[in-house]
Amino acid sequence: MKLACVREIAALAKAETSDEVAAAYAGEELHFGPDYLIPKPFDARLILRIAPAVAQAAADSGVAERPIADMAAYRQSLERYVYQTGMFMRPVFTAAKANPARVIYAEGEDERVLRAVQVALDEGIVKPTLIGRPEVIATRIERAGLRLKLGEDVAVIDPNNDARFRQYWEAYHQVMGRQGVTPEMAKAAVRRSATTIGALAIKLGDADAMICGMVGRFDNHLEHVSDLIGLKPGARNFATMNALMLDEHTLFITDTFVNDQPDAEQLAEIAAMAAEEVKRFGLPPKLAFVSHSMFGSSKRPSAVKMRRARELFTQHAPDVECDGEMHGDAALSESVRNTFLPDSTLKGAANLLVLPSLDAANILFNVLKITAGQGVTVGPILLGSAAPVHILTPSATVRRIVNMTALAVADVLAAKG
């Protein structure tokens, strides 16, 4: 058992550093050698490596009176002590592992992306393609101590020199030619925008899904996705949803990034798309249409809009639990709700909050993220796209990129039926 422990400590010291350790010891070159013989105490992977190894050694030696029957399940159970999103994301990772998909990363030179791709490969959920200059990517892989091998583990699209350049700019011009884009402008657009390249890769069948948004404005990325990938059949709008892990609740909030002032019809459609996405996490969606009004207490336009949105949604999805319009506290407390409407069609706490405007949704999400969620979030999850694409934000962590990769792969599998 002691040998098993020592071997795992040694193996971890020789492995690439985690993003948590890299952040805690910024500027230090942490590579195995005379100055780095054991992992740093901040390395959360210690519990994931040492505990199973010792438990297995105890079972093998006969010391364990009750050996662990399912070691893989035991390893998964330990993730809740390391990653706060671990248990929440498990159904998504399970689906992704069943059929790894080709995911293209627009910011392929970003070290966060490289670390996330390493984790995703180790998890067995992805066939990655990086957009970026190969020499820059190789240098950053080496500097981070990662095991990625360009051309073997990871495909690369070089914006400055790729054999598919002509095919890509011609495809771009075919789509945008009647929007004032000349062939020369098409060439420049493809060289200039990695998100454009990623969207074209999906359009031309070179990738199944895309992760982007770590650099630049959300709206700019969405414009490229809208132009080149478009909406899925039956969808009239894009929208976004974010998930928050709180102490007592897991909440999904929509629409946090796209529609400024959606009307009732748009809100009903957004709610339907969001409810389908919530099911990917193994949760039954329970919706609350949130308002300043409480079951008809106000006749202001925004209250009427939320009331109408709920009516339209129930017509579209009568089997999904929902109610509204209601206050935020009533959405999470059945006792508060029953004070006003004992026969509410929503039981227990809602897990999906549909907000009346982008401002309301985005403000609520960001306030809860800091005050109650310790910054533990998943998203933004893009809804309505014809192909799985998720536009993250510049603050995205390595773990969030890994989680969104798994979700993109699960979305690919779901789209295939």
| Count of helix runs (H) and strand runs (E) in the chain | 17, 11
Residue 34 confidence (pLDDT) above 60: yes
- The predicted-structure confidence for 76-105, as pLDDT tens digits, reads as follows 666 655 554 556 788 888 889 989 999 999
Residue 235 confidence (pLDDT) above 80: yes
Q: Of 13 and 170, which is predicted with more confidence?
A: 170
Q: What is the mean pLDDT of residues 217-227?
A: 96
Q: Which of 2-6, 205-209, 337-341, 348-352 has the lowest mean pLDDT?
A: 2-6
Closest by CA to 139, choosing from 127, 131, 150, 129, is: 150
Q: What is the mean pLDDT of residues 395-413?
A: 93
Cis before residue 159, ω within 30 degrees of 0? no
Q: Would you state the structure tokens that stand for residue 386, as one six-digit string?
A: 């014809």
pLDDT number for residue 85: 55
pLDDT band of residue 75 (cuts 50, 70, 90) is: low
- The predicted-structure confidence for 270-294, as pLDDT tens digits, reads as follows 999 999 999 988 889 999 999 999 9
pLDDT number for residue 281: 87
pLDDT number for residue 12: 66
pLDDT number for residue 45: 65
- The predicted-structure confidence for 296-315, as pLDDT tens digits, reads as follows 999 999 999 999 999 999 99
Residue 170 confidence (pLDDT) above 70: yes
pLDDT number for residue 59: 75
Query: What average pLDDT does the chain have?
Result: 88
Q: What is the mean pLDDT of residues 180-207?
A: 95
How far is 315 from 296, CA to CA, in rounded Å?
19
Residue 389 confidence (pLDDT) above 60: yes
How far is 402 from 288, CA to CA, in rounded Å?
29
Q: Of 55 and 371, which is predicted with more confidence?
A: 371
Q: Would you state the structure tokens that stand for residue 179, as one six-digit string?
A: 């929007």
Please give the DSSP secondary-structure letter assigned to residue 229: T
Residue 324 confidence (pLDDT) above 90: no
| Residue type, position 234, single letter | G
Residue 13 confidence (pLDDT) above 70: no
pLDDT band of residue 373 (cuts 50, 70, 90) is: low
pLDDT number for residue 111: 94
How far is 89 from 384, CA to CA, in rounded Å?
21
pLDDT number for residue 383: 97
Cα 31 off chain centre by: 30
- The predicted-structure confidence for 54-71, as pLDDT tens digits, reads as follows 777 777 777 777 778 777
Which residues have C-beta within 8 Å of that of residue 309, sequence separation ≥ 6? Answer: 264, 265, 267, 268, 271, 289, 324, 354
Residues paired with residue 155 on neighbouring β-strands, in sequence order: 129
Residue 2 confidence (pLDDT) above 90: no
pLDDT number for residue 360: 96
Please give the DSSP secondary-structure letter assigned to residue 279: H
Q: What is the mean pLDDT of residues 231-250?
A: 91
